[in-house]
């Protein structure tokens, strides 16, 4: 949503990559001139230049132990913790600053559109931008690399319209050209990369990218490499991508995205105070931030509620008050998730619980259907199963991992659901008196 709002705010489509560049003007092909844009360094965002520089350096100038990064790097972390923000505001500028031609595609911008279509669009946008001598991307590369790309900009000797069609240029052809003409490394950043695993189109895209990577990186006459970075909100799916033999990116490097830390919380509290509001104590804010999953939006919500408590004269023990607010927020978020699962219907609930318990396959197996039939007290057929699963998939509660295999979309929701089931089970069990153990003293242990 954040991304879409930003994309809408951009004056035109062809220079989508432009917003990644720190500068005041961008090239507008429609007007054939430079037009002003708001500065990229957004004062409402906390920047992480150190983290960005470290990652960029590791990727572009790998040490002897980082060579594996050449196969691809996947960063994972739960939703809403700032991955996209970091990638766009800090990481991509750091890569460009080091002279790497960087392309970005977010597979979650529009989940109804096939990954390959989104990828081809991003590649075409980048290529068409490079053709404009005054484009920000080109100017940046020119400045950083000290290379004069010629008066006409970089034009690829490929038909971009036919890209990806039978008989047209392949992704590998384009990336070879980009490395050659851009005279250096090309980095492709794919946000929410695990989305590609859900469909055949996405899998095809991954294999096409692998082919491109292998072609560029084994060539001896190219001035750079193709480096692929993926981010994902689903750790186990992302890990699957990097470890399963059948996957295009088997062997890629995986790491956890570093969540925002104390420096972020301090920065945020200073802004709260600067706005004339009351900030909770740092330690309580830090603990609260962790308890709401290190999500900036939840912290803001908690601080907002904290103002009401203070105004009502309940702010004396600020630390405890703030901790309670955060705990309540965490529970409320969990309740919303539970509600959306239950709304999918009783069969969907059984399917969800089975997957959450780690049984990713066999939802349509006779044995599973028999168990579900017994639990519901009615016959459950494969025909009943299909719509229940579709409901869970379209609500983005589960994702397809491959043929007949599913995974819970958000690990946090899985955790919440398992806790909920456990609590329900405990509550529904009649309390049975424990037989006294002979010789065991009451209260021992």
Ligand X SMILES: Nc1ncnc2c1ncn2[C@@H]1O[C@H](COP(=O)(O)OP(=O)(O)O)[C@@H](O)[C@H]1O
Site for ligand X in 20-49 (CB under 6 A): 45-46
User: Which of ligand X, Mg ion, none does 93 bind, CB closer than 5 to 8 A by kind?
Assistant: none
Give the count of residues interacting with ligand X (CB under 6 A): 12
Nearer to ligand X, 15 or 84 (CB): 84
Q: Which of 396, 388, 391, 358 is nearest to 372 (CA)?
A: 388
Q: What is the contact mask toward ligand X in residues 75 to 94, using x (rule: CB under 6 A)?
A: ----xxxxxxx---------
Question: CB of 94: closest distance to ligand X in angstroms?
Answer: 14
Per the CB < 8 A criterion, the answer to whether 197 and 240 are in contact is: yes
262 binds, among Mg ion, ligand X, none (CB under 5 to 8 A by kind): none
8 Å CB contact between 409 and 399: yes
- For residue 400, the surrounding DSSP H or E stretch is strand 398-402
Please give the residues from 231 up to 290 whose contact with Mg ion meets the rule CB under 5 A: none
Q: Of these partners, Mg ion, ligand X, none, which one is at the site of residue 2 (CB under 5 to 8 Å by kind)?
A: ligand X
Q: Which is nearer to Mg ion, 237 or 284 (CB)?
A: 237
CB of 242 to ligand X, least distance (A): 19
Is 88:104 a contact under the CB 8 Å cutoff? yes
Q: Of residues 288-347, which lie at the interface with ligand X (CB under 6 A)?
A: 296-297
CB closer to ligand X, 128 vs 294: 294
Strands 186-191, 398-402: parallel, antiparallel or unpaired by DSSP? unpaired
Query: What does 114 bind: Mg ion, ligand X, none (CB cut-off 5 to 8 Å by kind)?
Result: none
User: Closer to ligand X at the Cβ: 265 or 318?
Assistant: 265
Distance CA 73, CA 70 (A): 8
Collapsing DSSP states into helix, strand and coil, what is residue 324? helix
**Whole-angstrom distance, CA of residue 102 vs CA of residue 96:** 7
> Shortest distance, CB of residue 395 to ligand X, whole angstroms?
18
Q: Which of residues 154-173 bind ligand X (CB under 6 A)?
A: none
| 99, interface contact from ligand X, Mg ion, none, CB < 5-8 Å by kind | none
Tokens of 242: 């990097």
Q: Which is nearer to ligand X, 27 or 104 (CB)?
A: 104
**x/- binding map, residues 176-195, to ligand X, per CB under 6 A?**
--------------------
Burial class, 379, CB count within 10 angstroms (exposed 0-12 / middle 13-18 / buried 19+): exposed
Round to whole Å and give the CA distance between 387 and 398. 13
Candidates 74-82, 147-155, 325-333, 385-393; binding stretch for ligand X (CB under 6 A): 74-82
Q: Is 341 left (phi over 0), alpha (psi -120 to 50) or beta?
A: alpha
Closest CA relative to residue 322, chosen from 302, 308, 304, 300: 302
Neighbours of 196 (CB within 10 A): 27
* Minimum CB distance to ligand X smaller for 84 or for 128: 84
Q: Among residue numbers 124 through 143, which ones bind Mg ion (CB under 5 A)?
A: none
89 lies in the binding site for Mg ion (CB under 5 A) = no
User: If 0-12 CB within 10 Å is exposed, 13-18 middle and 19+ buried, where does residue 138 land?
Assistant: buried
Is 228 in a helix, a strand, or coil?
Answer: strand
- Segment interacting with Mg ion (CB under 5 A) among 53-61, 68-76, 83-91, 363-371: 83-91
Which of 137, 134, 109 is closest to 125 using CA atoms? 137
| 85 contact choice in ligand X, Mg ion, none (CB below 5 to 8 Å, kind-dependent) | ligand X
Say which residues have a Cβ less than 8 Å from residue 108's Cβ, sequence separation at least 6.
191, 192, 195
When the beta carbons of 45 and 393 are compared against ligand X, the nearer one is: 45
Cα dihedral 130, 135, 139, 142, rounded to 10, equals 10
- Find the shortest distance in angstroms from Cβ 417 to ligand X: 20
Q: Is 55 exposed, middle or buried (0-12, 13-18, 19+ CB in 10 A)?
A: buried
Residue 84 vs 195, nearer CB to Mg ion: 84
Report if residue 84 touches Mg ion, rule: CB under 5 A: yes
Q: Which is nearer to ligand X, 49 or 404 (CB)?
A: 49
- Pick between residue 83 and residue 401 the one whose CB is nearest to Mg ion: 83
- Site for Mg ion, rule CB under 5 A: 83-84
- Site for ligand X, rule CB under 6 A: 2, 45-46, 79-85, 296-297
């Amino acid at each position: 949503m954040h991304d879409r709002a930003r994309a809408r705010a951009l004056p035109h489509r062809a220079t989508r990559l432009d917003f990644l560049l720190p500068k005041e003007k961008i090239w507008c092909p429609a007007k054939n001139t430079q037009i002003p844009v708001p500065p990229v360094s957004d004062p409402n965002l906390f920047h992480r230049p150190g983290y960005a520089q470290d990652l960029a350096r590791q990727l572009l100038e790998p040490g002897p132990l980082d060579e594996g990064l050449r196969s691809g790097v996947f960063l994972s972390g739960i939703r809403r913790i700032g991955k996209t923000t970091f990638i766009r505001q800090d990481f991509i500028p750091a890569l460009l600053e080091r002279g790497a031609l960087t392309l970005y595609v977010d597979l979650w911008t529009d989940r109804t559109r096939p990954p390959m279509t989104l990828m081809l669009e991003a590649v075409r946008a980048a290529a068409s931008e490079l053709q404009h001598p005054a484009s920000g991307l080109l100017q940046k590369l020119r400045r950083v690399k000290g290379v004069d790309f010629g008066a006409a900009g970089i034009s690829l000797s490929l038909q971009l319209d036919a890209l990806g069609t039978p008989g047209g240029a392949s992704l590998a052809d384009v990336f070879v050209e980009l490395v050659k003409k851009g005279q250096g490394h090309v980095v492709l950043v794919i946000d929410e990369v695990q989305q590609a695993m859900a469909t055949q189109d996405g899998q095809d895209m991954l294999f096409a990218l692998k082919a491109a990577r292998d072609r560029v990186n084994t060539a001896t006459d190219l001035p750079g490499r193709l480096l692929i970075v993926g981010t994902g909100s689903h750790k186990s799916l992302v890990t699957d991508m990097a470890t399963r033999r059948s996957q295009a990116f088997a062997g890629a490097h995986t790491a956890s995205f570093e969540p925002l830390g104390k420096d972020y919380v301090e920065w945020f509290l200073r802004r709260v105070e600067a706005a004339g509001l009351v900030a909770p104590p740092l330690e309580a804010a830090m603990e609260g931030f962790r308890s709401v999953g290190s999500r900036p939006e939840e912290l803001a919500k908690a601080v907002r509620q904290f103002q009401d408590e203070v105004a009502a004269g309940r702010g004396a023990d600020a630390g405890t008050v703030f901790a309670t607010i955060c705990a309540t927020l965490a529970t409320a978020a969990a309740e919303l998730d539970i509600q959306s699962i239950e709304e999918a219907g009783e069969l969907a609930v059984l399917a969800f619980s089975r997957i959450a318990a780690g049984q990713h396959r066999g939802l349509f197996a006779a044995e599973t259907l028999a168990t579900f039939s017994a639990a519901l007290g009615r016959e459950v057929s494969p025909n009943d199963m299909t719509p229940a699963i579709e409901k869970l998939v379209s609500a983005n509660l589960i994702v397809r991992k491959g043929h007949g295999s599913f995974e819970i979309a958000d690990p946090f929701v899985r955790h919440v659901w398992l806790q909920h089931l456990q609590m329900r089970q405990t509550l529904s069990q009649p309390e049975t008196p424990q037989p006294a153990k002979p010789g065991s003293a009451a209260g021992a242990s």
